[in-house]
Structure formats: structure tokens, C-alpha cells
Amino acid sequence: MKNNKIILGNYKGILSNYYVILSNYKVILSNYKVILSKYNVILSGAKNLLLIFFLILSLAITSYAERIKDIASWSGIRENQLVGYGLVVGLNGTGDKDGTYLYQPIANMLSRMGITVNVKDLKGKVKNVAAVMVTAKLPTNVKPGTKIDVQVSSIGDAKSLQGGTLLLTPLTGPDGEVYALAQGPISIGGFIAAGRAAQAIKNHQNVGSIPEGAIVEKAVPVNLNAKSDLQLLLQFPDITTARNIAEKINEIYKAGIAKALDPTTISIKVPSNYIGNVLDFMAEVEKIEVSTDLPARVVINERTGTVVIGSHVKIAPAALAHGGLTITIKESPEVVQPPPLSPRGAVTETVPRTELKVEEKQASLVEVQGSTVGELVRALNTLGVTPKDLISILQALKTSGALKADLVIM
């Protein structure tokens, strides 16, 4: 009986150990699932990273292949500038206040309508009229009757062109010929609301536009199909790009028909099978993709603080330190009144009070190895530079010879 109890006790112990082993097995299995899940996440992340890498790589490869249509234009095919002097009427008291440039055109316009008016009688009585300059662009080969957009700009002291209508205005070219007639209501894309003590203004009020506000009366014809020689003009002159375009055209069509004359101009002889059908040849040439090679350039606009850095810009090894000096001047004039029982003649005066605060940030030195634009930006971000600071730094780098690019200041 005693032996049976011992055997039963051992059996319970073995069973307990079995449950422990089973529990550990479940924990191991659970950990295995977690590991497998993390592995799938890592694998998925790797796939996404690989996809992003190939996407960036493909963009980097194709970013240098441009259509000829996007980087060059055909000689002789261009827009022509038109200009005219006109009157805008229907303004709500926001027109020009005074000026012979306003009264004389009004008198001339009324005279053409059979109404005789003395210029002196118009002074101070035409607050709803503004003198404007009307401009437009006339594309090549636009046919008479086609509508084009016009821009209207005030030339006097008008407060706003809101709600005005442009009267019939002839638009002339540099040769003095009338090519279009403009008329219609003006859209300024904003408003002005004013009272005696305050006003609210949205957008610029003295410039507006009239979509399709002019009708073409005379075209500028260009007979392209009669040409046997063409010229391509690069938007950004570059010797390498001009040579690449000529080589690509010769490779596709016939050797010797294209030749780079200078960094801007590529001369092309029309193939014999395209004579009389030059437009098809031009359309095919525009679709050709060529590799471009633009110079390294940094463009700076000091007025707005805008900095644009090209992808080819390189930086030689240099150490940068830039400290910011901030001076704040605040004027808080104080009104001082004479105390009670002051002698006769005491007056209230305004006493100037100036608060001056000068703060200079401690400059830290950052070493920049021979780097690309991205590495330079990261280094400058560690300095916490602003766009204005960046302009000064780039100018200093150019002076030291560390900036390997053309610096263009607008």
C-alpha cells in the first residue's frame, strides 16, 4: 500500500513536469510566431525599401533624358507682343483722380460718338474711369477671329479696377499695325472693402485680366512647309546639349543633316522625303529624347530669401561657422502730463522711449567634406541657418573657392 502511494506521487510529479514542458512548448511556439511575424515585417519593409530604391534610381536615370520639345524651340515660331492704351469704366469711385492722360482720351472717345466735351469740364467728375495699358501675346499662325487673353494694368492713381469694364481697345504690334481688338469685364481675383477708419484688401487691385478678351483681326503667317532648312534654339545654351541633339538627329535620320552651330543653335536640313511636309518632320524631332548636361549653378534671390541649388553642385572640403547677430529696436513713446497745481504754461508732452536689445548667437564650427548638395544641406541644418544666412554662407563658399558652381544673384 505504501509502495502504491509512492508510485502515485511519482506519477503526479511526472505529470506536473509534463504540463510544465507543454507550457514551455506553447511559449516557444508563441515566440516563434512573433519572430516569424517580425521576419515578415522586415521582409515587407525590405521589399518596400528596394522598390523605393529602384524608383529613385529610375528617376535619377530618366531625369537627364529630356524631349527636344521641352528644352528647345523652333526659330521663327514665337509669340508676338501686343500693347494698347484703353479706358476702364464702371468703377465704384476707385478710378483715377486727375490727369490729362485720362481726360483727353475720354473727350476723344466721346467726340467719335458725336458728343463734344471740353476737357476742362471733365476735371474732378470722372472718378469711375481709369486709364490702363492693355497687353497680350499673339501666337504664330493664329487665325483672324481667334480669341486671346489680355492683361489690364492701371497707369494712373486708381485705387482698384474691381468691377470695371474695358472699352474697345486696339492692340498694336511693334510695327504699328492693329492685330487684335480687346474689350470686356475685368477680373482681378480679389476685392477691396473700405470704410472711414479701415479697409480690407485681397490681392493686387490695379492689375486684372480678361480671359479671351481680345479678338484677333490680323494673323502673323509663317509657311513652315515651304522651308528646307530649320533651326532649333536651346532655352539654356550649352555646348554639350547642342552636340547631343545634333548627334541624335543624325543617328535617327541621316548623317550630316543636323549640326550644332553654337551653344544655342542647331541647324537641320529637312530630309528629301519630308519636303513639302515639314510639319510631320518637326513633330517627330520634338519627340526625340536626348541627354542634357546643364552647368552646376546656384541661383539666389536676396529680396525674397530664395535659394535654388542645382543637382550638379559640388562642395570642396571646408569648415563652416556662422554666428547670428540680432538687433531689436522698439519705440514706446510715453505721454507725460503736468501734475496737479502746476504753474500756468505747463503742457502735456510726449517723451520718446527707446528699448534696444542686442543678441548674438554663439557660432559653432561644422566641417564639410567634399560633398553633394544633400550633404551640404544636412551640415547647414546642424547650424540652424535661415535662408538669409544660407545666402551669406554660399557667397563666402564661392569666394573661398569651395563652391564648385556658378553663383547667380537675382
Helix axes 373-383, 387-400, angle to 10 degrees: 120
Q: Which of 24-38, 156-170, 252-266 has the lowest mean pLDDT?
A: 24-38
Q: Which of 1-5, 165-169, 244-248 has the lowest mean pLDDT?
A: 1-5
Query: What pLDDT is attached to residue 368?
Result: 62
Cell of 228: 528646307
**Range of 16-30, 104-118, 182-196, 291-305 with top mean pLDDT:** 104-118
Q: Which helix (H) or strand (E) holds 45?
A: helix 2-62
Q: What is the DSSP letter of 203?
A: S
pLDDT in tens, 130-143: 999 999 999 988 99
pLDDT in tens, 342-392: 777 777 788 777 676 656 566 555 666 666 666 777 777 766 777 777 788
pLDDT in tens, 114-130: 888 888 878 877 889 99
What predicted TM-score, i.e. pTM, was given to this entire model?
A: 0.62
pLDDT in tens, 36-87: 444 443 334 433 333 333 333 333 333 468 899 999 999 988 899 999 999 9
Query: What pLDDT is attached to residue 262?
Result: 94
Cell of 1: 500500500
Q: Which helix (H) or strand (E) holds 277?
A: none
Nearest residue to 266 (alpha-carbon basis) of 229, 227, 222, 224:
229
Q: Distance between CA atoms of 268 and 99, rounded to whole angstroms?
A: 54
Strand runs labelled E in 18-96: 65-67, 72-74, 80-89
Q: Which of 61-75, 190-204, 305-319, 375-389 has the lowest mean pLDDT?
A: 190-204
